[in-house]
Amino acid sequence: MTQDELKQAVARAAIGYVVDGEIIGVGTGSTANFFIDELATIKDRIKGTVASSEATAARLKGHGIPVFDLNDVESIAVYIDGADEIDASGAMIKGGGAALTREKIVASVSKSFVCIADGSKLVETLGKFALPVEVIPMARNAVFRQLAALGGQPKVRVKPGSDEPFVTDNGGHLIDVAGLSITDPVALENTINGMVGVIAVGLFAARGANVCLLGTAEGVKSLRWQG
């Protein structure tokens, strides 16, 4: 199976976690896009969605799926999103699609988090994928130096075909930190969150996944954690 076929398989399986009559949190990225397309086939069964990015909101609306502002929503039954890496504890690195802050916000208020990914995203130790950190622009260089002091190799993410910093939906800049071996994801998440000027770090460890649906050549495998 191709990587896209694996993503389609887990997106289809994730429909089984959609709660009828409820609001569903929807993530950002290529795997989440496959889920949105699947969700469109059962859109009449749900009340609506909360999107983790402007791009996701546009895709949902394009399918005629209602999108609510989080401030107008009391609860979210389940949040469904991909991951750049996930380990055996359910901790994840996210943010390759630049939506980490809104993803983290939506995940934090959802009753359950279902991660959907192809099998290559399951790793023993997080960190081979560069860790995204969203920062207030004026604090970019100050945070950059602190991230370098942790032993990583930080790099400012730039706009495609440009030397200008990439700007998120929140107006933030992104620093991608390569070369980390993250053996204690919760501790590192807390450390980076404590740096003045950091908006959010792409470690989802304090609030990790409850379920991970992994697309493999043998079919969709399910991992579960308490929470």
Q: Is 62 annotated as a binding residue?
A: no
C-alpha pair distances (Å), 192 with each of 73, 77, 83, 89: 29, 29, 19, 20
Distance CA(222)–CA(27), nearest Å, equals 19
Q: Is 37 annotated as a binding residue?
A: no
Q: Is 108 annotated as a binding residue?
A: no
Q: Is 206 annotated as a binding residue?
A: no
CA proximity to 94, closest of 131, 140, 125: 131
Q: Is 72 annotated as a binding residue?
A: no
Q: Is 101 annotated as a binding residue?
A: no
Q: Is 172 annotated as a binding residue?
A: no
**Phi, psi of 96, deg, nearest 5:** -60, -30
H or E element that contains 131: strand 131-135
Assigned token pair, 92: 């994840």
Q: Is 184 annotated as a binding residue?
A: no
Distance CA(147)–CA(158), nearest Å, equals 18
Q: Is 52 annotated as a binding residue?
A: no
Q: Is 155 annotated as a binding residue?
A: no
Asked if residues 131 and 180 have their Cβ atoms less than 8 Å apart, the reply is yes
Catalytic residues: 103
The length of the chain is 227
For helices 30-39 and 54-62, give the axis angle rounded to 10 degrees. Answer: 30
User: CA-based Rg of the chain, rounded to a whole angstrom?
Assistant: 17
Q: Is 4 annotated as a binding residue?
A: no
Binding site feature residues:
28-31, 81-84, 94-97, 121
Binding site feature residues for substrate:
28-31, 81-84, 94-97, 121
